Structure 1
């Protein structure tokens, strides 16, 4: 299963947040009878990551804490995240659900330096499904721009890796 760069779908809920300082979209094609929901993808995307990504997030959190950036380190992060995704509203302290439809879930990660919108968007055909992960970033000040300058190379690799990892894990689970 290979991910590829794509355009933001014209009917994506994220169109409301354009233009942005940075955007990307990565997609994977899934064949077979099992259909994945945007909610299941979003929950898995953020709660079960490869060990090397988890290690990078821990380093990132150590480096950004002195600058007042959110780290998302709370005791009930996973439970609260799943709760707000399923409800289609609310916040877990670092992320808020800002838009939701039958085929898309959009969360906002906001701090004093930038706003980052992450979306999982799905489209289905008879025997296949396309899953797209979208990112839109709005800088609030120069610190947001500098921060994302350093994060951006990692962002692309991490998003593509987590997308593929999430799909493999969810598709291997019985429905």
Structure 2
């Protein structure tokens, strides 16, 4: 059984060096079973194995943001994305910023805002997804105001799915 709860960003998270932020949150999965997944692998699954309704939201988002000149997700190479997450570097507007054995931090940078996303393995039965957002202009504030109601739902659902997917592959 897994429960996802809103949490505080752990004090020793790699994301704290990117404070202050205009918005921050953390969601923590607490599982009754061990979670033995590397943060890189979980980050890749988090972004590439989303629930169907989340994929629909992202397609709608990518279509709409073109009209205001923002970057959309360009899913042309899953292998390039995986390489970026696991080995560092950039993939379109995503950059691998920091990592250690417990945590992977990436930055999605655009002209309207910078979004820092972290996947952090806590103890053997918990995982955190931390989000920091820094607005670069008024469009960033408006954009995040529109997507914020969906943010928590997307993170919770995608995180649970990523963990379940990883577990089923290991069995």
TM range (shorter): over 0.9
Q: Does 1:109 align with 2:108?
A: yes
Q: Distance in 2 between matches of 1:9 and 1:75?
A: 34
How big is the alpha-carbon RMSD for the aligned residues of Structure 1 and Structure 2?
1.2
Q: What CA deviation, in whole Å up to 9, does each residue of 1:27-80 have, x standing for no partner? A: 11234455111011100000111111101100111111111211122421x211
Secondary structure in 1 matching 2:156: helix
Aligned to 2:118: 119
Q: Distance in 1 between matches of 2:31 and 2:40?
A: 16
8 A contact 2:3–2:31 mirrored in 1: no
Select the residue among 135, 139, 163 that pairs with 1:167: 163
Q: Distance in 2 between matches of 1:162 and 1:18?
A: 25
Aligned to 1:6: 7
Secondary structure in 2 matching 1:2: strand
Q: Distance in 1 between matches of 2:148 and 2:62?
A: 16
- Unaligned 5+ runs, structure 1: none
Aligned to 2:81: 81
Secondary structure in 2 matching 1:134: strand
Q: Distance in 2 between matches of 1:74 and 1:165?
A: 19
Task: Out of 66-75 and 93-102, give the one that drifted further.
Answer: 66-75
Shift of 1:169: 1.1
- Unaligned 5+ runs, structure 2: none
Secondary structure in 1 matching 2:90: coil
Q: What CA deviation, in whole Å up to 9, does each residue of 1:109-145 have, x standing for no partner? A: 0000000000001122xxx321000100000000000
Aligned to 1:155: 151
TM-score by length of 1: 0.93
TM-score by length of 2: 0.95
Report 1:37-52 matches (<5 A): 37-52=38-53
Q: Distance in 2 between matches of 1:105 and 1:83?
A: 13
Aligned to 1:97: 96
8 A contact 2:74–2:92 mirrored in 1: no
Q: Distance in 1 between matches of 2:117 and 2:141?
A: 17
Change (3 A) 1:21 1:91: same
